[in-house]
Amino acid sequence: MWGRAALVVAAVLSSAAAVQQALTVRDRRRYPPPGLLINVDGHPMHLQVRGPDTDGPTVVLEAGMGSFSPNWYWVQQELASKIRTVAYDRAGLGWSRRSRQPRDAQAIAVELRDALSKAEIEPPYVLAGHSFGGLPIRAFADLYPDLTAGLILVDASHPDQWVRWPTPHADRILEVSQKILGWLGWFGLLRALHLARGISAGLPARQAAELRAGAALPGFAATEAAQIRSWSVSREQLNAAAPLGDLPLAVIAVSEQPVGDELLTALQHELAELTENAGFEVVQGASHESLISNREHARVVADIIQAVVQAARDREDARLKRP
């Protein structure tokens, strides 16, 4: 009896895996990479470059946890006529293949620097990071201060948030859940769950479909688990980072926080203390996800990015005029 049941389960799983593989092949045909594929340390990384190549700085867009470049569509659209922007996919997400390197903030920042260099996208850079993306852009600024002209933390993660979160070991729970999702992904469960629904709501149909297809891949959840597992390393790196001085910084927070409102708001205010030249703004009506997927909210983000770009230019002009 048990042997027959095991055979039935094996047959069902095998069929589900075959369907998942077939749909993955279909998605790759439907959604080819819209940008550049750059080889970094033996694996391709995807960069979506838009806008004029002006006198700089170039804006680099780092997506949040569970997301990649199409999430920045509205922000890139708003800036396309004025500023060159680069939305890219971290290794293991979107059209970028997995890396052999750890997934801590510094390792991700090094890969980003290599990708920009090999794509011949010259510094200086203003970097904007949404959610988890705030960690690697801060590491980038610490590793490459001469290349960094400004930062925008878009409802960004705080390196200490898990040690201060009221639920004990919340990061460990999240990591384990991502590992389980990665395993289920081989049998099509991620496709059925549609985990990209929240981050894609409000985007055009094409970009929403790209996010859904990317989030259905088993390696996607495995990469997310690796990033969470490396969070403690990232925390140590960022808490040991050098002061940012008068580097232009904008911190963007949201008014709609269904969980952990007081703590998350306090953490955002702490991020605004990272430099002597920081601005802080709350986007009313925006949630963590809608901040860049909703067109109206993304327009506010784009305006703030433009302001930081201008502040970076003014700072460089003042530096050149010093005797």
Sign, CA dihedral 163-112-279-257, equals negative
The DSSP call for residue 242 is P
Using one digit for the tens of pLDDT, what is the confidence trace for 211-226? 998 888 877 888 888 8
CA gap 120, 291 in Å, rounded: 30
Q: What angle do CA 164, 158, 214 make, to 5 degrees?
A: 115
State how far the alpha carbon of 77 is from the alpha carbons of 206, 214, 282, 287, 302, in Å. Answer: 14, 21, 22, 20, 9
Residue 9's pLDDT is 46
- Closest by CA to 130, choosing from 313, 311, 304, 276, is 304
Considering the segment(s) 31-321 as one domain, its CATH architecture is 3-Layer(aba) Sandwich (3.40)
| Neighbour tally for 78: CB within 10 Å | 20
Q: Are 99 and 43 in contact (CB under 8 A)?
A: yes
Contacts of 7 (CB under 8 A, 6+ apart): none
Per-residue pLDDT of the chain (323 residues; tens, 9 = 90+): 556 655 554 555 566 556 666 666 677 788 899 999 999 988 999 999 999 987 779 999 999 988 999 999 999 999 999 999 999 999 999 999 988 888 999 999 999 999 999 999 999 999 999 999 999 999 999 999 999 999 999 999 999 999 998 888 888 887 888 778 777 766 666 777 767 778 888 999 999 999 998 888 877 888 888 898 999 999 999 999 999 999 999 999 999 987 777 888 999 999 999 999 999 999 999 999 999 999 999 999 999 999 999 999 988 877 877 76
pTM of the model: 0.92
Structure tokens at 14: 């095998």
pLDDT of residue 218: 78
Give the whole-angstrom CA distance, residue 321 versus residue 217.
52
Distance CA 19, CA 149 (A): 47
| Residue in 90, 241, 69, 64 with CA at minimum distance from that of residue 157 | 64
In the prediction, which pLDDT does 148 show?
98
- Cβ neighbors of 272 (< 8 A, separation 6 or more) are 249, 251, 278, 279, 280
Residue 222, token pair as written in the block? 């495995």
Query: Could you state, in order of their start, the residue ranges of all structural domains in the chain?
Result: 31-321
Distance, in Å, from the CA atom of 24 to the CA atom of 6, rounded to the nearest integer, reads: 27
What are the Cα distances from residue 143, in Å, to 40, 85, 130, 140, 146? 18, 21, 19, 5, 9
